[in-house]
Structure formats: C-alpha cells, structure tokens
Amino acid sequence: MTSTSAAAIIAARIEAAVARLHPGETGGLDTVARPSEHADAQVNVALALAKRLGKNPREVAEQIARSVEVVGVCRSVEVAGPGFLNITFDDAFLGEKLREMASGESLGLRQAAVTETVVVDYSAPNVAKEMHVGHLRSTIIGDALVRMLTAVGHRVVRENHIGDWGTPFGMLIEHLVDLGEAGASRELSVGDLDAFYKEARKKFDASEQFQDRARKRVVALQAGDADTLRLWNLLVAESARYFAQVYEKLDVLLKHSDLRGESTYNHLLAAVVERLRAAGLLQQDDEAEVVFPPGFTNRENQPLPLIIRKKDGGYNYATSDLACVIDRVENIGATLLVYVVGAPQAQHLAMVESVAASAGWLKPPARMEHVAFGSVLGSDRKMLRSRSGDAVKLVELLDEAVQRAEASIREKNPELDPAVRSVVAHQIGIGAVKYSDLSNDRVKDYVFDWERMLSFDGNTAPYLQYAHARICSIFRKAGEKRSAVRDVRPLVAHQAERALALSLLQFDTVVHDAIDRFSPHRLCTYLYELSSRYTAFYEHCPVLKADGDVRQSRLALCDLTARVLEHGLGMLGIGAPEQM
C-alpha cells in the first residue's frame, strides 16, 4: 500500500491554487515543501511565479495563502519574508501520516520510479598487497550504496574489481617460487601480504637476474602457461581468503562470487582494441596504441593519451576498465555503473568514460558515476599509518574497534550477559568505524579518531544505536509488544512530539536524496537529527508514566522511531542492538 506523503499533498494543493489563480502557469514551478526552522515546512513557489508574472512576490504569496485548500491538511499557511509560504500542518493530519507510515514494512520509503540494473564497483584491493584504508573507505561506502539502492528496488550487481593482473605478477610469482609453494602459502595465509610484496620488490630492485626471471614470467602468464597460471592462482586465492576475512569482520555483503578482478576481462582486451580501431579512435603514439579523448591535457597543455596497448604489446589498467564497461552494459544490461574509487583516480575514470562514450559503448540511459572519496587521516592530519609507519592492517584495526567497544559497554552496562555483550560489541565497534566514515561528506578527508567515533554522544553510531536500544528497553518495561501499537494514530500535541513527527515523515525524502547524490552522509545527518529529536521528546514527554491514549500514542512514536533507526542504520550496513 502506498500513501501520499505530506509534502506531496501540500504540493498538489498549492498547484491547484496556482492553477485557479493563474491558469496555465503551473508548469516548471517548484512546489516542494521543505523542512524549515520557522514552520513545519516552507514552500517557495511565489518568488519564481511573481518574477514570471512581473508582480510583487509577497502579494502573489498572499493570494496563494488565501486560496489554498487547507481543510484536513494544514492548520495555517502564512506568508513570511520576501514571499515564502510557511506551512503548519494539522495535528491530526500528521498523526494520520505517521500511522500510514507505521502500517507498512517499507516505512513509507517509495520504490524508485524507474528500476535500473546498477553495477557497484567497490572495495577492489590488490592481490598480494595489504588492503589500505582507501580500500576500507571504498568497501564501507560501496556497501552502503548497494544496500540503499537495493532498498528502493533496483537490481544491484556487486563487483569487486581486484587488481590481480599486470607486470608485478612476474616478480610476485618468482618470489613465490623461491619461497616454495608451502612457505609462500604460510606467509600469505597469516595475512602478511605487504611483507611478501616488499620482499619481492627488494629482490627485483637488487638483482638483474631476478628482473629477467620476472619479465619472462609475465610473458608466460600472458601466454597462458599452465604452470604459471597455477602459481598465479595460488597468489590470488590466498589474497582473496584474506580479503574475505576483512569483509566478514566488516559485515559487508561482498562475497567470493562478487570477485571480478582485472584478469576477468582478459578475453575481451583484444576486442577492445579491434573495436576502438574500427571506430577510428585508435592512434599510434610513441609506438603505443592510444586514444586521445577530447579535453584531456597534461600540465604542458598537450593532449593526454589513454594508453590501450603498450609498446611491449601488454594491455593496461585502462584497457580492462574499458572491457569492463562493455561487459557491464552489453552483458549485464546495466544502465548505471557506479565506481566507488578514491578521488586520485578521477581523471582515469573520466578518460575511460569519455572513450567508452565516443566508442558508442556507453549510450544514454547508460552512464558512469564516479563516487569519489577523500583520505583517512591520522591525528597528525597526515595519511593514517600504523605506529611502525607501515600501512595500517585492516584486520587489526577492526579487531581494535571491537575490543574498545567491548571495554566501553562492560563499563557502562556491567550486567549485560557476556554472550550478548560480545555480539553487541561487534555491532558497536564495527558500526562506529563505518559510521565515522559514512557520516562525513565522502569527498572530504576525515580524521580517524577512536574516542570520537566510539563516543555515546554526538553524531556517532553508538549514539544512534543507544537511542534504538533505549526504545527497545521502554517496550520491555512497558510489557507491550512493539507491533501492538502500529495501528495507533499518534497524537501530535507537544512541541517535542511535533518535531519528532516531522522528522519521521522526512525519512523517504532523505533516503532518495542520499541515493540520488550517492551521499550516505545525508542519511547519517538525518538519523542523528532524528535521534536528537527523540532524546528531546523522551525528556519532555513521559511515556511509561502517561496513561491511556497518550501512553499508546507515545509508544507508537517510540516504535516508529526505532524502526526508522533500524532501517536507516541497516541501509548503512550497521546493526541496531536491542540492548547495550
């Protein structure tokens, strides 16, 4: 069952008033009712309309305010400032909208108007290398987007484009041969990927003989030599096992079956070259085969090539990304290709997009979206490093998060059953890491700060989780079943109830806005505001001490708040414990 949102009802009433007053003028007008500090909502239609009509905006607004049909919807429509329409909803109308919202599983969240097949390319660490915090960001943001897109009905395909191909594999395989397969497996299985990589690199830099072996190995790998492929597979499998550990700790949806490493596209690379040539896009540049997408230049203002095939005949990172576009559009049938990749790769992806579009592989409605993100900084505001100065090991970081959360709830709630405590510690610790990432505008850098992210105050996961747990505890004390209050129409009387009600009714708009902008932090900001309003409501409006209808009404508000928090946190990949 879908119900019409309060905002949509207001928009329709205002449009009807405009149509009566100024026939033929409703087209292209913004009648959206936005949240406002001065009223329940504000509509800005009069300013644009007055401009169009060449009239005084306040007068145009006054006319609309007098004409708009408000019965059963608004208590008042008042003109403010230069011609804003300040809306105050009818209490019973808000109550009814809340009841409608509570009556369905979706909590009023609309399905997308057009259902699309969306490929989300995220995480994408490199084989035989430690996953760094950039991959952590990609994993967390990508997973939240997958969950949000899925929640509004899109068909979402997860792809983990791991770096599993290219010249470094020559040296990595030769190092593996030196260590012996068993020894190499042992080293890799403890997750010491960086050490393995560094040792290989060191040998490569020190010995010409080793370089020679590495080069020959790359040739054998590309020629599909069976034994070389077997050794390569070993490297990939050990790394994938390590990545899977991180994904499991992180509670993300990525599975083994989502792996689509660069090597997946090998069989398409020759076709990429042929199709670019046939399209007349391929050029020779310093013996390499390249495409010059229009508008890309280097610092000297010379045209910048996208290298498709190198001098030595080898293919490039860009070539597999182009093959990837073909696969996603032509084989998977995707219309939206989302790349959750750090900001430094913006130019690479823009060039791939431009070439794919010129070649006719990316025709509207199919499109690419680079969901870029900034860096994670340490308290010194430099790139986050471990104490030894190396890349931070993600498994250790996540374990530390859970340990810290455990210590904190042990102190705050010593009575909690130990088995429950360990589950909750995981939800809080991992939730804190995810939320501290997601709650920042992703394009900005952010400072990784244990104290702040695990604090029970402020815009943090524990604060939201605590609001949820507190509501669960109210119901335990009340001896009421949560589902029993779902057909109650809440009374929206107290100012704090009203603020909470308006926030609850924003859920659908906010989620769609966060999806449209690929910005999970908008959902975070909303959930934080909702929790703050809930806290104020809880202080001013006693629930368990109230009687009769008031008690039922307030329980209904509590239940709906908890459901929005749980659903909202769920879309961010964060658990909502019932006690903590």
State the nearest-atom distance from the C-beta of 135 to ligand ARG, in Å.
6
CB of 203 to ligand ARG, least distance (A): 23
Report how far residue 549's alpha carbon sits from residue 542's, in angstroms, rounded to the nearest whole number.
13
Q: How far apart are CA 507 and CA 525, in angstroms?
A: 11
Q: Which of residues 524-553 bind ligand ARG (CB under 6 A)?
A: none
Measuring CA to CA, which residue among 295, 287, 310 is closest to residue 357? 295
Give me the least distance between CB of 124 and ligand ARG, in Å please: 4
What DSSP letter does each residue of 113-153 carry, written as one string? SS--EEEEE----BTTS---HHHHHHHHHHHHHHHHHHHTT
H-assigned helices in 30-90: 45-53, 57-67
Q: Which residue is nearest to ligand ARG (CB)?
A: 124
Per-residue binding letters, 125-154, with ligand ARG (x by CB under 6 A): -x----------------------------
> What is the residue-wise DSSP string for 10-44?
HHHHHHHHHHHHSTT--TT----EE--SSSSEEE-
Q: Which is nearer to ligand ARG, 97 or 161 (CB)?
A: 161
H/E segment holding residue 381: none
CA-based radius of gyration for the chain:
28
| Integer Cα distance of 539 and 111 in angstroms | 35
Interhelix angle for 394-412 vs 418-438, to 10°? 120
Q: Which stretch binds ligand ARG (CB under 6 A): 51-59, 118-126, 265-273, 517-525?
A: 118-126
Residue 81's φ and ψ, nearest 5 degrees, are 50, -140
The CA-to-CA distance between both ends of the chain, in Å, stands at 35
Please identify, using beta-carbon distances, which residue of 172 and 576 lies nearer to ligand ARG.
172
Is 371 near ligand ARG (CB under 6 A)?
A: no
Question: Binding of ligand ARG at residue 173 (CB under 6 A)?
Answer: no
Q: Kindly compute the dihedral angle of the four CA atoms of residues 375, 378, 382, 387, in this order, to the nearest 10 degrees.
A: -120
- Minimum CB distance to ligand ARG smaller for 46 or for 352: 352
Q: Determine, following the binding rule CB under 6 A, whether residue 258 of this chain makes contact with ligand ARG.
A: no
User: Per CB under 6 A, does 321 bind ligand ARG?
Assistant: yes
Closest separation between CB of residue 537 and ligand ARG, Å? 44
- How many other CB atoms are there within 10 angstroms of residue 561's CB atom? 24
What is the nearest approach in angstroms of ligand ARG to the Cβ of residue 122? 8
Give yes or no for residue 341 binding ligand ARG (CB under 6 A): yes
DSSP for 181-232, written as a single string: HHHHHHHHHTT-HHHHHHHHHHHHHH-HHHHHHHHHHHHHHHTT-HHHHHHH
User: In this structure, what token pair is assigned to residue 284?
Assistant: 């020779």
Q: Which is nearer to ligand ARG, 153 or 342 (CB)?
A: 342
Q: Which residue blocks in 439-519 are alpha helix, DSSP H?
A: 450-453, 461-478, 495-504, 507-516
Nearer to ligand ARG, 341 or 376 (CB): 341
Residues 25-64 as x/- pattern, contact with ligand ARG by CB under 6 A: ----------------------------------------
Nearest to ligand ARG of 342, 570 (CB atom):
342
Structure tokens at 89: 């909803």
Structure token digits, residue 32: 């959206």
User: Given candidates 83, 163, 573, 577, which one binds ligand ARG under the rule CB under 6 A?
Assistant: 163
> Nearer Cβ to ligand ARG, position 132 or 482?
132
Q: Which is nearer to ligand ARG, 155 or 348 (CB)?
A: 348
| Residue list 381-410, contact with ligand ARG (CB under 6 A) | none
- State which of residues 45, 79, 119, 124 lies at the interface with ligand ARG (CB under 6 A): 124
Between CA 130 and CA 238 the distance in angstroms is 12
Binding window for ligand ARG (CB under 6 A); candidates: 121-129, 227-235, 415-423, 565-573: 121-129
**β-pair type (288-291, 306-309):** antiparallel
Q: Is there binding between residue 328 and ligand ARG (CB under 6 A)?
A: no
Q: Whose Cβ is closer to ligand ARG: residue 316's or residue 427's?
A: 316
Rounded to a whole number of angstroms, the minimum distance from the CB of residue 11 to ligand ARG is 40
CB 384 within 8 A of CB 378: yes
Write down the least CB distance from residue 2 to ligand ARG, Å: 37
d(CA 203, CA 487): 70
Residue number, 135 or 175, with CB nearest to ligand ARG: 135
User: What's the closest the beta carbon of residue 91 comes to ligand ARG, in angstroms?
Assistant: 51
Between CA 154 and CA 341 the distance in angstroms is: 21
Work out whether 121 is an interface residue with ligand ARG (CB under 6 A): yes
Q: 161 or 563, CB closer to ligand ARG?
A: 161
List CB contacts of 48: < 8 A, sequence separation 6 or more: 29, 30
Considering the complex, what minimum distance in angstroms separates the CB of residue 321 from ligand ARG?
A: 5
Q: How far is the CB of 220 from ligand ARG (least distance, A)?
A: 23
Among 161, 213, 217, 554, binds ligand ARG (CB under 6 A): 161
Q: How many residues bind ligand ARG (CB under 6 A)?
A: 9
The residues that touch ligand ARG, with contacts defined as CB under 6 A, are 121, 124, 126, 161, 163, 321, 324, 339, 341
